[in-house]
A and B are shown apart, each in its own frame.
Chain A
């Protein structure tokens, strides 16, 4: 038994080593934004997983404002195993496998899926929030942490003061998130999400999905960038046949950028066409929305209605 355990540990170490080498070679020593997935122990549910991690952390670290980790700055979304090359390794249920297969068929036909629900300005929602592009920033406090995303102004509020889940509104786009600190790691349990998807062209998730995330800032060394790494496990008894371990990371931006309000409803001219595909409304066509901007369209800046 001990020998078998040794083989497993050695094998995983070997795999990590080989994987790291592949990454380094593939990237030509350029810092990669992909992260290695740490397989989580098997738990029957997100709740069991969360409770085990909290027990391991002896109830969690009670931080003060000054003892919290430094996640200041602007962070660029990295690449995750949820948005890697097709096919993803998600253990999909039969129905969700068929949906994913259809998306891949559309991609083979057109190079893209016919339509993305974000076109009509839906939020990315959880879990897609984890891998949406552009920038994120984070505001940490002992009792709650705000994880803010530039895309669609989506802010996740993670309550770390010991309160349990509360969902009087039912299921919501970002769900309900509670958590605790284990040293410099933020552990999050998210539930009560809406049925959505992991990313355009990728599998769907059901409204029963629950996610366990472990966030940790990793200082950049050996050519790798300064980043926050998220190791997560998705539990979805409808969409998945087993928990799905994923990883993603956010790389600290080395350029000046300030997150602004993300407009969509008043400025998007991409729509669902009559044939179920995507099209654009051009200036002068019916339904075109001229984006308001006091620099490039000063004549169209009207008082609020």
Chain B
């Protein structure tokens, strides 16, 4: 009996120590987004709207298409509660700002997706993403590809 207790205690302690990864936190499942690296979309446009809200922020970017028409893309980011500690505020994206956005698209083909990172006109980057580390990982890939 005591040995059983020992093994149980040993297992519990080891298992508890093995955890270290942050799971993706948000108030909904991300199954509507394609977050795979190979599916990333790159949008160059201007900020139309920055909704800095809980439970999620949304950045709407107007992209001018090759034929001259314009398309609004709406992209979901993290909660205000997660962005403020990262230094992202209500003033980080202003209407009319030129930005390049890397995102994971909606699987159903509508003009929306999940934010990964934003490159500003001065070349700096911000990471307003939710869903764990997808923003930093995408930015790392982006920088690596640029070096090649």
Q: Which residues of A contact B (CB under 8 A)?
A: 4-5, 7-8, 11-12, 14-16, 18-20, 22-23, 26-27, 32-37, 39, 79-81, 83-85, 89, 110-116, 118-119, 121, 132-135, 150-151, 199-200, 245, 247, 253, 255, 257, 259-260, 262-264, 267-270, 273, 277-280, 282-284, 290-291, 293, 295-297
Most A-side CB within 10 Å, residue of B16, B56, B60: B16
Q: Which residues of B contact A81 (CB under 8 A)?
A: 15-16, 19
Query: Do B9 and A264 touch across chains, with their CB atoms under 8 A apart?
Result: no
Q: Which residues of B contact A (CB under 8 A)?
A: 2-3, 5-6, 8-25, 27-32, 35, 49-56, 58, 60, 72, 74, 76, 79-82, 84-85, 90-91, 95, 106, 108, 110-112
Instruction: Tell me how far the C-beta of A132 lies from the nearest C-beta in chain B, rounded to whole angstroms.
Output: 8
Q: Which residue of B lies closest to A124 (CB)?
A: B27
Complex CA–CA separation, A296 to B23 (angstroms): 31
Query: Do A89 and B30 touch across chains, with their CB atoms under 8 A apart?
Result: no
Query: Do A119 and B110 touch across chains, with their CB atoms under 8 A apart?
Result: no
Instruction: Tell me how far the C-beta of B105 lies from the nearest C-beta in chain A, rounded to whole angstroms.
Output: 12
Query: Can you add 10 more A-B contacts, CB < 8 Å, to A19-B14, A22-B14?
Result: A8-B6, A11-B6, A39-B9, A81-B16, A84-B19, A134-B25, A134-B81, A200-B29, A280-B32, A293-B90
Instruction: Tell me how far the C-beta of A246 lies from the nearest C-beta in chain B, rounded to whole angstroms.
Output: 8
Q: Which residues of B contact A259 (CB under 8 A)?
A: 81
Query: Do B27 and A134 touch across chains, with their CB atoms under 8 A apart?
Result: no
Say which residue of A5, A85, A283, A296 sits within 8 Å of B50 (CB atoms).
A296
Instruction: Tell me how far the C-beta of A118 lies from the nearest C-beta in chain B, rounded to whole angstroms.
Output: 4
Most A-side CB within 10 Å, residue of B27, B58, B72, B95: B27
Tell me what chain A mostly uses at the interface: helix, strand, loop, or mixed.
Answer: loop
Q: Which residue of A lies closest to B114 (CB)?
A: A280
Q: Which residue of A lies closest to B57 (CB)?
A: A291
Q: Which residues of A contact B27 (CB under 8 A)?
A: 116, 118-119, 121, 151, 264, 268, 270
Query: Do A111 and B31 touch across chains, with their CB atoms under 8 A apart?
Result: yes
> What is the count of residue pairs linking A and B with beta-carbon distances less than 8 angstroms?
197
Complex CA–CA separation, A279 to B2 (angstroms): 51
Complex CA–CA separation, A193 to B40 (angstroms): 42
Instruction: Tell me how far the C-beta of B6 lies from the nearest C-beta in chain A, rounded to whole angstroms.
Output: 4
Query: Do A267 and B54 touch across chains, with their CB atoms under 8 A apart?
Result: yes
- Knowing A32-B20, A81-B16 are in contact, say whether A112-B29 is a contact too (CB < 8 A): yes
Complex CA–CA separation, A5 to B65 (angstroms): 74
Complex CA–CA separation, A83 to B18 (angstroms): 12
Instruction: Tell me how far the C-beta of B51 lies from the nearest C-beta in chain A, rounded to whole angstroms.
Output: 5
Query: Do B18 and A291 touch across chains, with their CB atoms under 8 A apart?
Result: no
Instruction: Tell me how far the C-beta of A186 lies from the nearest C-beta in chain B, rounded to whole angstroms.
Output: 21
Instruction: Tell me how far the C-beta of A135 lies from the nearest C-beta in chain B, rounded to whole angstroms.
Output: 6
- Knowing A118-B27, A200-B29 are in contact, say whether A35-B54 is a contact too (CB < 8 A): no
Complex CA–CA separation, A303 to B78 (angstroms): 28
Complex CA–CA separation, A4 to B4 (angstroms): 11
Q: Which residues of B contact A247 (CB under 8 A)?
A: 16
Q: Which residues of B contact A112 (CB under 8 A)?
A: 24, 29-31
- Knowing A4-B2, A257-B85, A263-B53 are in contact, say whether A116-B17 is a contact too (CB < 8 A): no
Q: Which residue of A lies closest to B108 (CB)?
A: A279
Query: Do B20 and A27 touch across chains, with their CB atoms under 8 A apart?
Result: yes
Complex CA–CA separation, A33 to B25 (angstroms): 15
Instruction: Tell me how far the C-beta of B48 lies from the nearest C-beta in chain A, rounded to whole angstroms.
Output: 9
Q: Which residues of B contact A113 (CB under 8 A)?
A: 29, 31
Query: Do B35 and A37 touch across chains, with their CB atoms under 8 A apart?
Result: no
Complex CA–CA separation, A7 to B9 (angstroms): 12
Complex CA–CA separation, A257 to B10 (angstroms): 38
- Knowing A22-B14, A270-B28, A280-B32 are in contact, say whether A79-B85 is a contact too (CB < 8 A): no
Q: Which residues of B contact A14 (CB under 8 A)?
A: 10
Query: Do B56 and A270 touch across chains, with their CB atoms under 8 A apart?
Result: yes
